Amino acid sequence: MNFISMNVVTLLYLVASVCFIQALKGLSSPSSARMGNTFGIAGMAIAVLTTVALIFKLQAELATSGGMGFPLVLLGVVVGGAIGAVAAKRVEMTKMPELVAAMHSLIGLAAVCIAVAAVSEPWAFNIATRTTPLPFGNRLELFIGTFVGAVTFSGSVIAFGKLSGKYKFRLFQGAPVRFAGQHILNLVLAIAIIALGLVFCFADGIEPAWTPFVIMAALSFVLGVLIIIPIGGADMPVVVSMLNSYSGWAAAGIGFSLNNSMLIIAGSLVGSSGAILSYIMCKAMNRSFFNVILGGFGGEASADTGGAKEQRPVKSGSAEDAAFIMQNAESVIIVPGYGLAVARAQHSVKELVDKLTEHGVQVRYAIHPVAGRMPGHMNVLLAEAEVPYDQVAEMEDINGEFGQTDVVLVLGANDVVNPAAKDPKSPIAGMPILEAYKAKSIIVNKRSMASGYAGLDNDLFYQPNTMMVFGDAKKVIESMVKAVE
């Protein structure tokens, strides 16, 4: 029985692909993000249902009705869907980057598993002719997909551990892990992987070349770990974006092996968008992609500046003092950072802004491209608190206004407002920053004088027009709201 024709399968996969493209377009702006998510859900639903129908078709063509294809797919959908739903329900916004890293690891592992299945049963990938072994082109695709998928999996696991910060295992700690000859070892592994992959590709025996394939896959897992461990916490957002790109290319490569247009298109979308995002983030930190991969921020700088913080005086005040200054200002710019996300203070900030607006104060938000732990982190937090989109401005749009602003309120941000970026000798020299230091008065809320991810002291804290307000962001802002009232 013919459940569905290949023409219909191709058409449905094309419709799903269009939905994914519309999803990416919608997610490019907070105002259209909800619609983008809807398109993404619709596209994935179409793709899954089409794949299930295709399994029935393949079973019919193979004259098998009792296979495990559909039960396994159903089990995967139920178990995976349940885990995903629970994770999405429980995850905190501060934990979103590590959740993304975990999801990337699963995509990489899936690519490796599909490659193993293809090598194990090559006839299943050419039902019409039952060709054995796989053609050279398919073996090359499987080699590339396995290599990229394995690196993505193990690298994402390390990134997950570094972002989580809950594990004592050395490789999962935020500080870079470096040793002598590290780059040479990576180069040797890469050459060995390529050599083994070519042996696998050129093997023309009836039996699959398991030995080079397995060794190549194992070395790829190791290489994924070695690539990520020397990268510090400051660069983890770029790493997550990079791994996102890797997972897409792995899926696309396997899509060619399976002759699946859906995987090819979706994987290419993820791979290219992840690569573009990585470029944007590197540009926002004035760093090259290779600079990120070959070494992390602040490894040496933090050691050099460790004692400087104790010798420089700062001016501190209370939440009530800060509220008085803002209440009597004409314009205020708020710079949210990771500390705001940790304290879950976005709703309190919205309430404070509403009170200041009632007093005739013009308030806007300034967002740095890499504020928080992932791109768009601050935008999502503010959208959750129903902050109007017209109050939120990107760095390039608002930097010219700091010089005419009465008060800047920095909430948990650090490196993205550090004037040290203007110093040619600084490790973050040239990094585009929010120019909060130009404002007439600056109020900085932090728990302590600890440095940011880059491991550098922040010159902004020591300016004569800066007042530090120490404490949990949510509690401090709630005190400001009461004072304004």
In the residue annotation, 415 being an active-site residue is answered as yes
Q: Which of 246, 185, 244 is nearest to 219 (CA)?
A: 185
**3-class DSSP string for the chain:** CCCCCHHHHHHHHHHHHHHHHHHHHHCCCHHHHHHHHHHHHHHHHHHHHHHHHHHHHHHHHCCCCCCCHHHHHHHHHHHHHHHHHHHHHHCCHHHHHHHHHHHHHHHHHHHHHHHHHHHHCHHHHCCCCCCCCCCHHHHHHHHHHHHHHHHHHHHHHHHHHHHHCCCCCHHHCCCCCCCCCHHHHHHHHHHHHHHHHHHHHHCCCCCCCHHHHHHHHHHHHHHHHHHHCCCCHHHHHHHHHHHHHHHHHHHHHHHHHHCCHHHHHHHHHHHHHHHHHHHHHHHHCCCCHHHHHHCCCCCCHHHHCCCHHHHCCCCECCHHHHHHHHHCCCEEEEEECHHHHHHCCHHHHHHHHHHHHHCCCEEEEEECCCCCCCCCHHHHHHHHCCCCHHHEEEHHHHHHHHHHCCEEEEECCCHHHCHHHHCCCCCCCCCCCCCHHHCCEEEEEECCCCCCCCCCCCHHHHCCCEEEEECCHHHHHHHHHHHHC
Q: Which of 245, 84, 279, 274 is nearest to 151 (CA)?
A: 245
Pair of tokens at residue 88 = 């999405």
Cα gap 137→423, rounded to integer Å:
52
User: Do residues 351 and 481 make contact, with C-beta atoms less than 8 angstroms apart?
Assistant: yes
Q: Which two tokens stand for residue 262?
A: 């859906």
End-to-end C-alpha distance for the chain, whole angstroms = 73
In sequence order, which residues have a C-beta less than 8 Å from that of residue 57 and are 6 or more positions away?
2, 3, 4, 9
d(CA 376, CA 255): 30
Out of 235, 406, 415, 423, the active site residue is: 415
Neighbour tally for 99: CB within 10 Å: 18
Token look-up 């004692």 returns 307
Positions marked catalytic: 415
